Structure 1
Amino acid sequence: MVPFPRTARMPHRTIHLFRKGLRLHDNPTLLAALESSETIYPVYVLDRRFLTSAMHIGALRWHFLLQSLEDLHKNLSHLGSRLLVIQGEYECVLREHVQKWNITQVTLDAEMEPFYKEMEANIRRLGAELGFEVLSRVGHSLYDTKRILDLNGGNPPLTYKRFLHVLSLLGDPEVPVRNLIAEDFQRCGSPDPGLAECYQVPLPMDLEIPLQSLSPWRGGETEGLRRLEQHLTDQAKHHSLPPVSLQGQLLWREFFYTVASATQNFTQMAGNPICLQIRWYEDAERLHKWKTAQTGFPWIDAIMTQLHQEGWIHHLARHAVACFLTRGDLWISWEEGMKVFEELLLDADYSINAGNWMWLSASAFFHCYTRIFCPVRFGKRTDPEGQYIRKYLPVLKNFPSKYIYEPWTASEEEQRQAGCIIGRDYPFPMVNHKEASDRNLQLMRRVREEQRGTAQLTRDDADDPMEMKRDCSEENRAKEKVARMME
């Protein structure tokens, strides 16, 4: 049954669709829904096909998502409401429940990823068919990226310096909206309590997700706010400044969101106007060794082991393994690494993941391609005693510190004493780093000479002091931050 259209003065019966923003804090769309509704149904549509195809969610991310949904449900319950998790395909779920609940409005956060944009367009089309209104507000970024694009002539700013200039014209971002209170939900009226029994947050076993794939990092708004408060307390002691401070990292996040929102094929090389077109090697065996922590370089393998076990690695560690896979050693496409991170990282993000992989492979944004992370020296500077390696690669834990980054240089007797024979218990290095990096450096120089001026790339950012400060600061502060890698 198609509901009767309502006048603007009459309150709505609303489905609020949670998508990425699984939170109550600073949620402008949900606040607008509450202020315009007589009844509100907080809904999360668990569309498994969409989540595994559009975002390639692995087991660790599934656990993190379910934890986040459970936390959201608890926080809604404290305010007298409840989260309804409905499993099924988005359009079918909405079509059924819009008619079942006589819905006149669907609210959702505006998102910039192509798959979320397509979803919103389909919901609007469904609204025109079934007679409900659609309301979306920007809530996942500091600014509305459309405003940034408009001020930059309709194009994304491709350097951080230009991006900061545009932000200076916009001024400060909007302040957070007020916190929601129980009276907001009491005024609207909550769904029938019986619905909560029908639409509970599923358990991992309900979705056949292996329980052993459980990260020590817990999902949910409650934990996120706790960690934010702790970070701000720590930052007050370190006196960090942009671009390495939290504020600076948020601006980098905004930068990548802005560029991704207006760049076709942002997550691939072909058809991407800002990305160098490079003939990367296709080598499934080498890619597999990198992904499964079998490169023979303990620093790299320890990082990839932590990624598999926890779904999180420090940003300097991300730099190291990304450079190793691409322009540093293996000359394998950044797209392959991006897919692995998308599957395994708890905080994988369409814009930031692809943007950083293009950056670290020197395919876009970053042009000082002669800077290559050494898979031995970089780790040694960061953690001279190799405690990180000993934690994540226990097979190497008994090697003396002078060998822990290069165990193949130990004598056969020293290897026996350490209880690990290289080539049997742990692999030899899969490449000679110096030879591979020298060769790749020449390949990258040739690529850039061939394509100079063909892509929408400039050298402004290479001369940008903010860029130089970012790189230098990260390396100089590595020792200070390594403790967080060990948490």
Structure 2
Amino acid sequence: MVVNSVHWFRKGLRLHDNPALQEALNGADTVRCVYILDPWFAGAANVGINRWRFLLEALDDLDSSLKKLNSRLFVIRGQPTDVFPRLFKEWKVTRLTFEYDPEPYGKERDGAIIKMAQEFGVETIVRNSHTLYNLDRIIEMNNNSPPLTFKRFQTIVSRLELPRRPLLPVTLQQMDKCHIKIADNHDQLYSIPSLEELGFRTEGLPPAVWRGGESEALDRLNKHLDKKVWVANLEHPRVSTCSLYASPTGLSPYLRFGCLSCRVLYYNLRELYMKLRKRCSPPLSLFGQLLWREFFYTAATNNPNFDRMEGNPICVQIPWDQNPEALAKWAEGRTGFPWIDAIMTQLRQEGWIHHLARHAVACFLTRGDLWISWESGMKVFEELLLDADWSVNAGSWMWLSCSAFFQQFFHCYCPVGFGRRTDPSGDYIRRYIPILKDYPNRYIYEPWNAPETVQKAANCVVGVDYPKPMINHAEGSRLNIERMKQVYQQIVTELWAAQEVEWSPTNLQVGDSIPGSSCLYAEVSLGKILTPNLPLMCHRCVNVYECVCEWVTCSVKRFEWSI
């Protein structure tokens, strides 16, 4: 029987560690590699030019790699449900392979394609390589629900076997066994579109800070692994001015588009650590960013409303303000706070910002200052961030806004002090907000406090050349902390009213409202909440679920919530 395979690239834009592509090659007579410009991505108004450029560069790099294997990439416009019936007939396809997509939209789309393929008599093979672990297995081990704290997630992962080892790249010998003749008009029929063809104006577009593609990803990985001291000592470099700029060893956009296999990164880190530490097994903390990625994928995989408040069972329903004007000022870097404006300018220009910079602007938009919904911030990041990933982006915004994955809402990033501690000289501000470049260090983070003579000497008068602060941070953050406290207080009150609990002075394993007291109590032993559906808070450190002020009696911590 003749086997004509089609491998469908979506994410996973690489030839190394690609199990689904290897399945396409296995015993096949012909193999064609396809990328479909899905309208879900191609027609989305919220995908910015930097993300598009990165994708097109990744496709171009993939096509170049396939050329070296005497093959090509077939780029086809249309919707998968419309494209595949035509390809199945035209190419007499008998096998379709693709990488497993764990996100709800992807699972729904792929389910429809699998059903269609069956109707055409086409075998479908799906393999997981976008995540380290089987997400369904993690959920199963957590009583069939996703773990919603990172600590719980780590506990489960520590009991799993190691991720599967990555596969070797596809070779010329493999591809030659299922070679197809490339038509002379291939570029006319299946070429990668340009930014101009997609409707973007490229006049004045600066060179890409991040170049897309597997080749660039692997080159960056090698540079990343050269940081042997960091790997050996598990030391994360302190955030400094240099940390804020795009790094030649940064990898997040390449993981998002699958130009770099997460398993290749995992095992390179693991093996280098073991080599430097004389075969000691590395701790989970070595893989922190990879695990956060897995954590959010796990939380999102069965939740189609993960990217919104409405219908999202894990999201606290916070009554955010509607303020389009304030949202626009934040998104366009016109808040009047140089630290925030520099971050948002870098994001818009380059498509990337440091993770602590993300924390700062997310806090400012939501619970810190503007009290605007995380959904709005998530959409801006989706447009501008190269590494914007549906699960990770939404999960991060819920987390940073204290809408899920319970956080310390009493802590807010100061839009002046945080930046000043990170970059005392203000060089980052001067780079991205050049109108402020002549301000002395003393006033670069709060130019509104500079005397008029200093402002005029710097050729930048606040309120004329640069906006005044759009909000009083001290007052706004204090008000928002109280608003957030009221939200959680209401949640606790409602949940407590729903509990049918009897209080026993000799058995405090079940929480209750103690008669005559203004507090709710719950006993926590060995870090495990015994009333798991009740989000109680330590009254001293105001930290949900986990006491950090070490209020300990014997081996039991007492959590209370004042009402």
- 8 Å contact from structure 2 (residues 443, 450) kept in 1: yes
Distance 1:118 1:426 in 2: 48
Instruction: Report the counterpart of residue 431 of structure 1 in structure 2.
Output: 471
Q: How many angstroms does 1:149 deviate by?
A: 1.3
Distance 2:471 2:210 in 1: 33
In the TM superposition, 1:384-399 aligns within 5 A as 384-399=424-439
**Helix, strand or coil: the match of 1:429?**
coil
Q: How many angstroms does 1:248 deviate by?
A: 1.1
Residue of structure 1 aligned with 2:68, choices 71, 78, 87? 78
In the TM superposition, 1:378-417 aligns within 5 A as 378-417=418-457
In the TM superposition, 1:173-188 aligns within 5 A as 173-188=163-178
Residue of structure 2 aligned with 1:16, choices 7, 12, 29? 7
**Larger CA deviation: 342-351 vs 197-206:** 197-206
CA displacement 1:11-60 (0-9 Å, x = unmatched): 5211110001111111111011111421111000113x221466932111
Distance 2:439 2:31 in 1: 61
Establish whether residue 307 from structure 1 lines up as the match of residue 297 from structure 2: no
Establish whether residue 37 from structure 1 lines up as the match of residue 28 from structure 2: yes
In the TM superposition, 1:300-379 aligns within 5 A as 300-379=340-419
Change in CA separation of 1:383 and 1:465 when aligned onto 2, cut-off 3 Å? farther
Distance 1:135 1:55 in 2: 32
- 8 Å contact from structure 2 (residues 6, 93) kept in 1: yes
CA displacement 1:299-328 (0-9 Å, x = unmatched): 000000000100000001000000000000
Give the share of equivalent positions with the same residue, in percent: 49
The structure 1 segments of at least 4 consecutive aligned residues displaced by more than 6 Å after TM superposition are 242-245
Change in CA separation of 1:372 and 1:11 when aligned onto 2, cut-off 3 Å? farther
In the TM superposition, 1:50-65 aligns within 5 A as 50-52=40-42, 56-65=46-55
**Helix, strand or coil: the match of 1:256?**
helix
In the TM superposition, 1:134-213 aligns within 5 A as 134-194=124-184, 196-197=186-187, 198-211=189-202, 212-213=204-205
Establish whether residue 285 from structure 1 lines up as the match of residue 325 from structure 2: yes
Instruction: Report the counterpart of residue 223 of structure 1 in structure 2.
Output: 216
- 8 Å contact from structure 1 (residues 59, 213) kept in 2: no
Residue of structure 1 aligned with 2:118, choices 98, 110, 128? 128
Runs of at least 5 residues in structure 2 that lack an aligned partner in the other structure? 237-282, 496-531, 538-542, 551-563
Instruction: Report the counterpart of residue 112 of structure 1 in structure 2.
Output: 102
Distance 1:129 1:71 in 2: 34
**Helix, strand or coil: the match of 2:107?**
helix
**Larger CA deviation: 87-96 vs 98-107:** 87-96
Cα RMSD (Å): 2.2
Distance 2:200 2:534 in 1: 43
- 8 Å contact from structure 2 (residues 24, 31) kept in 1: yes
Distance 2:131 2:181 in 1: 30
User: How high is the TM-score relative to the length of structure 1?
Assistant: 0.89
Q: How many angstroms does 1:463 deviate by?
A: 5.9
Instruction: Report the counterpart of residue 296 of structure 2 in structure 1.
Output: 256
Change in CA separation of 1:307 and 1:156 when aligned onto 2, cut-off 3 Å? same
Change in CA separation of 1:168 and 1:237 when aligned onto 2, cut-off 3 Å? closer
- 8 Å contact from structure 1 (residues 54, 115) kept in 2: no
Runs of at least 5 residues in structure 1 that lack an aligned partner in the other structure? 1-9, 469-487
Q: How many angstroms does 1:169 deviate by?
A: 2.1
Establish whether residue 90 from structure 1 lines up as the match of residue 90 from structure 2: no
- 8 Å contact from structure 1 (residues 13, 39) kept in 2: yes
Instruction: Report the counterpart of residue 226 of structure 2 in structure 1.
Output: 233
Q: How many angstroms does 1:465 deviate by?
A: 9.5
Q: How many angstroms does 1:113 deviate by?
A: 1.7
Distance 1:297 1:445 in 2: 26
The count of residues paired between Structure 1 and Structure 2 equals 457
Distance 1:290 1:326 in 2: 11
More helix, by proportion: 1
Distance 1:115 1:413 in 2: 57
- 8 Å contact from structure 2 (residues 535, 545) kept in 1: no
- 8 Å contact from structure 1 (residues 324, 330) kept in 2: yes
CA displacement 1:233-290 (0-9 Å, x = unmatched): 1254463269996611101111111111123410011111111100000000000000
Q: How many angstroms does 1:451 deviate by?
A: 1.3
- 8 Å contact from structure 1 (residues 256, 352) kept in 2: yes
Code of the residue aligned with 2:318 in structure 1: it is I
Change in CA separation of 1:267 and 1:397 when aligned onto 2, cut-off 3 Å? same
Distance 2:383 2:392 in 1: 14
**Helix, strand or coil: the match of 2:386?**
coil
Q: How many angstroms does 1:404 deviate by?
A: 0.1
Distance 1:417 1:180 in 2: 62
- 8 Å contact from structure 1 (residues 274, 456) kept in 2: no
Distance 1:208 1:174 in 2: 41
**Helix, strand or coil: the match of 2:309?**
coil
Q: How many angstroms does 1:434 deviate by?
A: 0.4
Code of the residue aligned with 1:188 in structure 2: it is C
Code of the residue aligned with 1:178 in structure 2: it is L
CA displacement 1:465-486 (0-9 Å, x = unmatched): 99x9xxxxxxxxxxxxxxxxxx
Change in CA separation of 1:457 and 1:224 when aligned onto 2, cut-off 3 Å? farther
Change in CA separation of 1:189 and 1:55 when aligned onto 2, cut-off 3 Å? farther
Distance 2:24 2:361 in 1: 44
Distance 1:193 1:228 in 2: 35
Q: How many angstroms does 1:209 deviate by?
A: 1.9
**Helix, strand or coil: the match of 1:183?**
helix
Q: How many angstroms does 1:378 deviate by?
A: 0.1
- 8 Å contact from structure 1 (residues 84, 195) kept in 2: no
Code of the residue aligned with 2:175 in structure 1: it is F
Q: How many angstroms does 1:87 deviate by?
A: 1.3
Distance 1:32 1:71 in 2: 22
Change in CA separation of 1:146 and 1:273 when aligned onto 2, cut-off 3 Å? same
**Helix, strand or coil: the match of 2:227?**
helix
Distance 1:255 1:457 in 2: 22
Structure of greater relative contact order (alpha carbons < 8 Å, 6+ residues apart): 1
Distance 1:199 1:465 in 2: 58
CA displacement 1:449-472 (0-9 Å, x = unmatched): 111275967569956699x9xxxx
